[in-house]
């Protein structure tokens, strides 16, 4: 009996010990990624006919990738190029970063990485994790045709091209307004800041929804962005771009230095003073602002075209109130002209970078260039935009028509748009009912910012500075501080936040890239 | 001479005693070898997963870069560069204050409700009611903060929340719960209590279950009512558990609760809600400044350890210390 007890406990501990150590062993094999990563390609190159394994990592935003058997894009690409593509798509940029960081720390690089920002590119390039693409650029002909010369500039760091920017997403944000409310209150579509304020006041006070209660607001949006056209009418970027870098009178300037900033903030303050702003404007997250629009709580919303015009949005609007009608407001006029808002020309929807480990694997590298060129070519681009020809879409001349199957099955395939897509063409095809409004929204004039090109100096704490600018401006619009306290902003930034370093860096890089003399 | 020999004797004696003791020590271990063997995997687990990874703390003193890794990254100059970066932030005192205040509020207001609930459960004579309420009350523990934030918005939003609708309809002014610096901390503490009240009660109920029933019988014989029994038997019975949980919580005072605050805060309430972890997230991780993040982490752990030591000292007075 006693002996049995003893063996039992020994068994228990041995089992759990092996569990502990087993977990540990697995860990170790993960850490030894470096050698396996470099061995793998040689293994595959031995077998001539075997498809080349390629791994792509990018943010998937929660899009569910079907398994390999049902992934018709993967199958088409694999067959066309004799490759075996594995796509890893963590749901959020943070997940992506942590995945990339662990992989890179372990030396186990994905072959193709779609980086979210220049900051990530800078960091990886500095550490020598990325392949210098400069000698290979002429082998990326189709890609260049697709994304344009400027996109090759966005991945330049230290004089070397480390990445290629994808085609940029269209900027379509603008004011949308309830046409039926305007008609009910006998008002015109506003064309200046004063008129905008007047309409917003009427929407707040004159019961536009006719329910006898004062339960509506004038303006909503996501934070400062909701006033982008008001800031724009004075030629400055809205405060959500707290340290926007732009060109004024041939010189690079950052928004806290611009004297017009104070005037613009004073204009915005009028809206807060009049009580016409959504009280939760600074806490609206995700779709909160457009939801309020759909529910009929607010009459003017600064938002992208999709919110009220896209089929799903439009259906929601009609379901909440069949009489509701949203129309786009043309950019309001001001002393500086018509500017709908800031637009970071240096920003990208993604930077395609390759792993440095590919340097010595010419064969695999060629396959990657083939892949990138193919998805940028007219044929390949159609594949990753709409799916399989004659199954998911049909063509009539140059016009593409998406089939029912395409609408149902092709929801995930944007993940394979490695170099992006011809944006306006794509949107016009996919949302043919909204083509004119998308076209109009994308052509609005915007203030070009260059922050995407500027590398943050390490001794400048951007997060603290952003917060300081945001806090001060909020206190001003909510009347806790006088507008004159804005005068000390630039000085405070210098003394407390080392802001000078950032300004110097900005003008230095703007010169280097040839944007200013 | 005799002096020397007696000294020798004493040292001999000491030798035998220490030898005896050592022998007995190993003998004891051998006697309960089965138990020690079962302890071994746990110990190894701690060494491998808790103690060995601590070498990663040197990141706090290095200009960490991902490719160089732990060993090849250069030492930072000066050695406390990243600690200084943290201490010199204009917001340092504010975020430290917020972290402590929010944690202390949670500690003060969050300790009693689960005890109270556990006592209610303990006194509840209807079995099915007790089971149901208990299950329902610990459910929120499994909800993520994103969902809880959704519920909070549905209830407390200034434009679409039920509570403000009721307020406005009955002639009051709406209250900006989510965007007001006056309300935000209460919101954090309140939602935290709501989430954890049932879960916390379970532990106290387990402690109550171990109280000797004869004590209650004796009290009943002496003519003690329910309140007397709660005051003189139930509460003293779970006293050590209360103190133990308190000590554990005090160790986490510097942690704040990142998930909750990150999901619920907005730029308007930074002043009262920005804690060390959210600041580190914005400055450290989003800009990939790992050295800063681990320097702050080390700072937090040190303070946490000191707090635990103090709390344990204090707890000894009530006879409820951990060690």
Task: Find the residue in B nearest to A19 (Cα).
Answer: B41
User: Around B90, how many Cα atoms within 13 Å sit in the side-chain half-sphere?
Assistant: 18
Cα–Cα distance for residue pair A236/A329, rounded to 1 Å: 20
Task: Find the residue in A nearest to B271 (Cα).
Answer: A471
Do residues B7 and B104 share a domain?
A: no
Any chain B CB within 8 A of the CB of A105? yes
Do residues B177 and B286 share a domain?
A: yes
Do residues B180 and B266 share a domain?
A: yes
Q: What is the pLDDT of residue B280?
A: 85
Cα–Cα distance for residue pair A202/A219, rounded to 1 Å: 11
Place of tokens 């009608």: A325
Is the distance from CB of A132 to CB of A160 less than 8 angstroms? yes
- Does residue B158 form part of some domain? yes
Do residues B154 and B35 share a domain?
A: no
Domain that holds residue B134: 91-317
Do residues B293 and B190 share a domain?
A: yes
Q: Quick check: A39 pLDDT over 80?
A: no
**φ/ψ of residue B318, rounded to 5:** -90, 5
In this prediction, what percent of chain B has a pLDDT beyond 90? 27
Give contacts of B91 with chain A, Cβ < 8 Å. 464, 467
DSSP assignment letter at A349: S
Query: A44-169+347-431 has which fold?
Result: D-Maltodextrin-Binding Protein; domain 2 (3.40.190)
Query: A174-340+450-512 has which fold?
Result: D-Maltodextrin-Binding Protein; domain 2 (3.40.190)
Distance from CA of B99 to the nearest CA of A (A): 17
Predicted confidence band of residue B163 (pLDDT cuts 50, 70, 90): very high
Task: Find the residue in B nearest to A130 (Cα).
Answer: B67
The enclosing H or E element of A86 equals strand A83-88
Where among B15, B39, B57 does a domain terminate?
A: B57
In chain A, domain spans: 44-169+347-431, 174-340+450-512
Any chain B CB within 8 A of the CB of A217? yes
Do residues B127 and B20 share a domain?
A: no
Cα–Cα distance for residue pair A93/A115, rounded to 1 Å: 9
Closest CA to A368 of A390, A387, A353: A353
DSSP assignment letter at A206: S
Cα–Cα distance for residue pair B51/A209, rounded to 1 Å: 64
Domains A44-169+347-431 and A174-340+450-512 share a fold: yes
The separation between CA B65 and the C-alpha centre of its own chain, rounded to angstroms, equals 32
- What's the Cα-to-Cα distance from A242 to each of A465, A472, A479, B320, rounded to whole Å? 8, 11, 20, 53
Cα–Cα distance for residue pair A113/A124, rounded to 1 Å: 11
Question: Which stretches of chain B sit within 8 Å of chain A by CB?
Answer: 33-35, 37-38, 40-42, 44-45, 48, 65-69, 85, 89-91, 153, 157-160, 168, 174, 176, 178-179, 266-268, 270-271, 274, 279, 282-283, 285-289
Contact B34 A20 (CB under 8 A): no
Where among B35, B57, B79 does a domain terminate?
A: B57
Cite the DSSP H helix spans in B210-230.
Answer: 213-221, 226-229
B220 C-beta neighbours (distance < 10 Å), count: 13
ipTM field: 0.76
Contact B66 A129 (CB under 8 A): yes
Place of tokens 């290629």: A164
3 state DSSP class of A52: strand
Tally of domains within chain B: 2
Select from B56, B67, B293 the residue whose CB has the most chain A CBs within 10 Å, as the one to mutate to test that interface: B67
Q: What is the CATH number of the domain that holds B302?
A: 1.10.3720.10
Segment A158-185, tens digit of pLDDT:
778 898 888 887 888 999 999 999 999 9
Cite the DSSP H helix spans in chain B.
Answer: 2-31, 33-46, 69-72, 81-87, 92-123, 127-138, 145-156, 162-169, 184-209, 213-221, 226-229, 235-251, 258-264, 270-273, 276-280, 290-317
Select from B267, B273, B290 the residue whose CB has the most chain A CBs within 10 Å, as the one to mutate to test that interface: B267
Is the distance from CB of A427 to CB of A129 less than 8 angstroms? no
Cis geometry, peptide bond prior to residue A69 (ω within 30 degrees of 0):
no
Q: What is the pLDDT of residue A270?
A: 95
Pairing of strands A342-344, A326-328: unpaired
Q: What is the pLDDT of residue A188?
A: 94
Segment A344-384, tens digit of pLDDT:
887 777 888 998 888 888 888 888 888 989 988 888 888 88
Q: Is the pTM of this model over 0.90?
A: no
- What's the Cα-to-Cα distance from A443 to each of A174, A212, A436, rounded to whole Å? 11, 40, 11
- Which two three-digit tokens encode residue A48? 């001539």
Distance from CA of B54 to the nearest CA of A (A): 16
In this prediction, what percent of chain A has a pLDDT beyond 90? 33
Closest CA to B58 of B300, B298, B305, B304: B298
Contact B48 A468 (CB under 8 A): no
Do residues B34 and B96 share a domain?
A: no
- Does residue B95 form part of some domain? yes
Q: Which residues, other chains included, contact A169 with Cβ-Cβ below 8 Å and sequence gap of 6+?
A: A349, A423
Q: Quick check: A403 pLDDT over 50?
A: yes
Of A503-517, B170-184, B245-259, B280-294, give the lowest mean pLDDT range. Answer: B280-294
Q: What is the pLDDT of residue A325?
A: 93
State the helix-helix crossing angle for B290-317 and B235-251, rounded to 10 degrees: 150
Segment A235-275, tens digit of pLDDT:
999 988 888 999 998 899 999 999 999 999 999 999 999 99
The enclosing H or E element of A469 equals helix A462-477
Predicted confidence band of residue A501 (pLDDT cuts 50, 70, 90): very high
**Looking at the DSSP assignment, which residues form a beta bridge with residue A333?**
A192
Of the candidates A215, A223, A471, the beta carbon closest to that of B270 is on: A471
Do residues B52 and B102 share a domain?
A: no
Of the candidates B45, B266, B282, the beta carbon closest to that of A283 is on: B266
**Looking at the DSSP assignment, which residues form a beta bridge with residue A163?**
A353
B300 C-beta neighbours (distance < 10 Å), count: 19
Q: What is the pLDDT of residue A331?
A: 94
Is the distance from CB of B260 to CB of B189 less than 8 angstroms? no
Cα–Cα distance for residue pair B188/B266, rounded to 1 Å: 13
Q: What is the pLDDT of residue A454?
A: 84
Predicted confidence band of residue B14 (pLDDT cuts 50, 70, 90): low
Q: Quick check: B246 pLDDT over 80?
A: yes
- Does residue B193 form part of some domain? yes
Select from B48, B66, B154, B264 the residue whose CB has the most chain A CBs within 10 Å, as the one to mutate to test that interface: B66
A119 C-beta neighbours (distance < 10 Å), count: 17
- What's the Cα-to-Cα distance from A356 to each of A131, A152, A353, A360, rounded to whole Å? 4, 18, 9, 9
- State chain A's mean pLDDT as an integer: 84
- Does residue B312 form part of some domain? yes
Q: Quick check: A43 pLDDT over 50?
A: no
> Please, what's the b/e burial string for B239-272 (b: 16 or more CB within 10 A of its CB; e: otherwise)?
ebbbbbbbbebbbbbbbbbeebbbbbbbbbbbbb
Q: What is the pLDDT of residue A167?
A: 84
Q: Quick check: B148 pLDDT over 90?
A: yes
Predicted confidence band of residue A456 (pLDDT cuts 50, 70, 90): confident
Cα–Cα distance for residue pair A500/A491, rounded to 1 Å: 10
Cis geometry, peptide bond prior to residue B78 (ω within 30 degrees of 0):
yes
């Amino acid at each position: 009996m006693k002996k049995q007890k003893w063996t039992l406990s020994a068994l228990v501990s041995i089992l759990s010990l092996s569990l502990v150590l087993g977990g540990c062993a697995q860990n170790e094999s993960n850490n030894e990624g470096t050698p396996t990563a470099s061995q793998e390609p040689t293994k595959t190159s031995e077998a001539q006919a075997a498809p080349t394994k390629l791994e792509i990592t990018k943010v998937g935003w929660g899009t569910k990738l079907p398994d390999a058997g049902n992934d018709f894009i993967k199958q088409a690409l694999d067959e066309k190029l004799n490759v075996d593509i594995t796509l890893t798509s963590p749901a959020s940029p943070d997940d992506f970063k942590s995945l990339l960081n662990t992989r890179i720390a372990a030396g186990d690089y994905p072959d193709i990485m779609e980086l979210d920002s220049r900051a990530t590119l800078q960091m990886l390039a500095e550490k020598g994790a990325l392949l210098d693409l400069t000698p290979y650029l002429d082998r990326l002909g189709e890609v260049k045709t697709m994304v344009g010369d400027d996109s090759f500039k966005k991945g330049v760091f230290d004089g070397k091209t480390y990445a290629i920017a994808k085609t940029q997403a269209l900027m379509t944000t603008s004011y949308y307004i309830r046409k039926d409310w305007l008609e009910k209150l006998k008002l015109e579509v506003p064309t200046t800041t004063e008129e905008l304020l007047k309409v917003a006041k009427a929407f707040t006070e004159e019961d536009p929804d006719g329910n006898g209660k004062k339960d509506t607001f004038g303006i909503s949006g996501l934070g400062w962005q909701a006033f982008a056209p008001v800031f724009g009418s004075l030629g400055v970027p809205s405060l959500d771009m707290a340290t926007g870098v732009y060109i004024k009178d041939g010189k690079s300037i950052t928004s806290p230095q611009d004297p017009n900033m104070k005037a613009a903030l004073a204009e915005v303050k009028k809206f807060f003073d009049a009580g016409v702003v959504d009280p939760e404007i600074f806490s609206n997250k995700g779709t909160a602002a457009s939801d309020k629009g759909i529910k009929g709580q607010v009459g003017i919303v600064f938002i992208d075209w999709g919110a009220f015009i896209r089929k799903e949005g439009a259906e929601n609007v009609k379901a909440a109130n069949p009489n509701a009608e949203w129309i786009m407001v043309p950019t309001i006029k001001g002393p500086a002209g018509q500017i709908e808002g800031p637009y970071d020309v240096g920003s990208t929807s993604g930077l395609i970078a390759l792993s440095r480990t590919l340097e010595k694997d010419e064969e695999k590298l060629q396959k990657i260039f083939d892949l990138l060129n193919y998805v940028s070519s007219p044929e390949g681009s159609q594949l990753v935009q709409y799916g399989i020809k004659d199954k998911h879409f049909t063509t009539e001349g140059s016009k593409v028509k998406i089939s029912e199957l395409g609408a149902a099955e092709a929801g995930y395939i944007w993940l394979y748009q490695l170099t992006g897509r011809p944006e306006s063409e794509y949107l016009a095809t996919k949302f043919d009912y909204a083509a004119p409004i998308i076209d109009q929204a994308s052509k609005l004039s915007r203030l070009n910012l260059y922050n995407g090109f500027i590398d943050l100096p390490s001794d400048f704490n951007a997060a603290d500075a952003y917060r300081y600018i945001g806090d001060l401006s909020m206190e001003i619009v909510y009347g806790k501080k006088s507008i004159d306290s804005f005068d000390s902003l630039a000085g405070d930034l210098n003394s407390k936040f080392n802001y000078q370093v950032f300004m110097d860096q900005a003008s230095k890089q703007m010169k280097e890239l040839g944007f200013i003399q | 001479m005799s002096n020397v020999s007696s000294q020798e004797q004493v040292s001999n004696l000491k030798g035998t005693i220490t030898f005896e003791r050592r022998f007995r020590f190993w003998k004891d271990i051998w006697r309960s070898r089965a138990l020690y063997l079962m302890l071994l995997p746990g110990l190894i687990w701690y060494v491998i997963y808790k103690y060995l990874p601590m070498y990663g703390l040197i990141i706090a003193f290095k200009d960490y870069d991902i490719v160089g890794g732990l060993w090849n990254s250069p030492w930072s100059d000066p050695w406390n560069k990243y600690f200084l970066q943290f201490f010199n932030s204009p917001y340092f005192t504010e975020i430290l204050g917020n972290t402590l205040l929010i944690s202390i509020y949670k500690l003060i207001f969050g300790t009693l409700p689960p005890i109270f609930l556990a006592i209610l459960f303990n006194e509840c004579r209807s079995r099915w009611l007790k089971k149901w309420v208990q299950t329902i009350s610990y459910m929120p523990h499994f909800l993520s903060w994103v969902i809880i934030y959704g519920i909070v918005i549905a209830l407390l939003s200034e434009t679409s929340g039920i509570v403000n609708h009721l307020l406005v309809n009955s002639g009051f002014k709406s209250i900006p719960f989510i965007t007001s610096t006056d309300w935000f901390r209460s919101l954090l503490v309140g939602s935290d209590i709501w989430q954890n009240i049932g879960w916390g009660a379970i532990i106290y109920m387990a402690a109550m279950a171990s109280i000797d029933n004869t004590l209650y019988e004796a009290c009943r014989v002496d003519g003690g009512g329910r309140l007397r029994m709660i005051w003189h038997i139930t509460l003293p019975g779970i006293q050590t558990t209360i103190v133990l949980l308190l000590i554990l919580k005090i160790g986490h005072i510097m942690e704040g609760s990142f998930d909750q605050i990150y999901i619920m805060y907005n730029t308007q309430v930074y002043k009262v809600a920005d804690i060390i972890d959210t600041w580190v997230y914005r400055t450290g991780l989003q800009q990939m400044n790992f050295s800063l993040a681990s320097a702050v982490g080390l700072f937090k752990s040190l303070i946490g350890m000191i707090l635990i030591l103090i709390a344990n000292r204090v707890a000894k007075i009530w006879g409820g210390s951990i060690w």
